[in-house]
Structure 1
Amino acid sequence: MEMLDILIIGAGPIGLNCALEAQKNNLSHVIIEKGTIVNSLYNYPLYMRFFSTAEKLEIDEVPFISTAPKPGRQEALEYYQGIARQKKLNINLYEKVLNVSKNNEIFEIETTKATYHAKNVVIATGFYDIPNLMNIPGENLPKVKHYYTEPYPYAKQKIVVVGSSNSAVDAALETYRKGAEVTMIVRHSEISKSVKYWVKPDIENRIAEGNIKAHFNAEMVEIKSNTVVFKDEKGAIHEIDNDFVLAMTGYLPDFDFLRNSGIELNGDCLNPFYNLETMETNVSNLYLAGVVCGGKDTHLWFIENSRVHANMIIKTILSRS
């Protein structure tokens, strides 16, 4: 039975960084990834640009060269996948982890393809795979999209965009500029303050001039084949014609997977338990890294402030060797 020093779940930027630290310290490791390398970034909108500058997205001190002040999705894919190739990281792709269990201080990790054994496990799975559902009638209709990639399919269509964060604002602006009739349904009283500062005035001006309609303090009630129903701030019910709904309501970590792995989840945000100095969970030698640490608060961690997790984890593992 092969025994790994570390098994890493997730080949996102932070998972890659954990593998790089393991490799530098001669620790045997493998990354198990259910999709491609940096799978979440691959599924981002095609023309997405990061809030962070390139140097804040770097890992392992490898320079991230960008032709723009804010790098885009394709540049990030080239950068992270290029590092994986150059460093010859041990990654198994299109293999999903089904279960993590522990027996006599050894982890057994069952996947769709094999069973692995490891002394330590790092969960770096992010949060982009499970949409935060509205739980309303009609949400399962084919016209409802929880992921947005590009504006071209929505030309000359009546679009409802649900939400007011970066993803919602990008979808609203891009589809509007390709000829869609856009209506935004926003639960709050204004566009989110977290929207990229160079984009926020654009959406606010388009709303002010009436080219994009926006209903604030509003809530979706039902989605029908050709219409949507929503409630305004006074509680009045409205029904408008509609071809597509872009439900940009955010995403969540796989809480069931975390629970089944033995990790404690606390509070309304289901914050997973971990040691702030070591990233170790309540299960000894089981660690969290990256945005998965935030529970429902998915804006707490991102690439630039969670890159340090890899060093913290490997340092802890080495101190116990």
Structure 2
Amino acid sequence: DRIAKVELANSTPRPGTVGGMLKAYRKSSDFITLAQITRSGYDDYIEEQIADIGDVLLGEVTRSWIIDLRNAWALRGHNAANKRMQVLKNALAPAILDEKDTRIDGDPFHKVARVKRPHEAGEANPAWHDHEVTAAIEDAIARDTPGLARAIALGRYGGFRRGTICNLPLHARINGHDDHGETERRLYWITEKRIVLSDKREDHRLTEILARTPNRAFTVAYNAKGMKWKERQLNQAVERLLNRLAKAGKVRAATDDDGNVYCPLTIHGLRHARGVELALAGASDSEIMSQLEQASEAAAKIYRRQAERRKMADSAQDKIDNVIKLRTRKSAKNAG
């Protein structure tokens, strides 16, 4: 039924409707220049919204209507709801921002809050611990899946997003020279999502993993067939590996509602681990941004705050430990 509605809406342009704005957005430069993975996800939301709300007139788009829509989408989860809201907001932006366009009264998205992450939900994409990274890489190598080990190493020691992990070609590893004229290995590539230049010295830990594993594809990382990873395929491979290690007690574990053991780590958590590591090492926001190929310093500030909280927490624990030691010594002295 939804497919029929989408086909009808696509074949019959309706000016002045939400569906018309969604179709116009799909053809806009703002949409076309999005990263492929983002564009693909947005495409699904656009088709869904054309079928569900495409016939709504722009004059009927009000703040209360937006809130009702957000609340309905919230039943599908906070992330799904917020992404759908973003797609709709992008599509309606031309009509909202154009002062001469009076079809939509004011900004219906004004002060409409995003759907919050449930309090009981765990941390999204938690940073991996070093022993978990080592366990995963060694397990992948032992099971003759070196391309998976390389993917994990690229995420942790290169700080790359999933799209770049899948697509980084062998020729992105180049020989450069340091300030003293010595040869050094560098990573030189335009990243997939933000289209930002990556030009940085290769972490020696990444170099060691790549030296231990063979080149079997034109990309640095590859699947069991020696082919370039597809993003969903890589997610599934990492999930299977981590769940197996969680059951063996080698990485952190959690249980679902049915009592099944699984690992809450994700491949994106490798990038977070790199970000926190940079912050703990004293890297500035600009340095973190450059290392992680970010378009702004916003995420870098988050990593630095996490590192500062960790340092402060450890410092507080040191003070407690010192107080306990002093009490123990005093008690021992009084007893003597």
Coarse TM-score class (shorter-chain normalised): under 0.3
Larger Rg: 2
| Larger helix percent | 2
TM-score by length of 2: 0.24
Compute the TM-score of the two structures, normalised by the length of structure 1.
0.25
Q: Which has the higher contact order (CA 8 A, sep 6+)?
A: 1
Structure with greater proportional strand content: 1
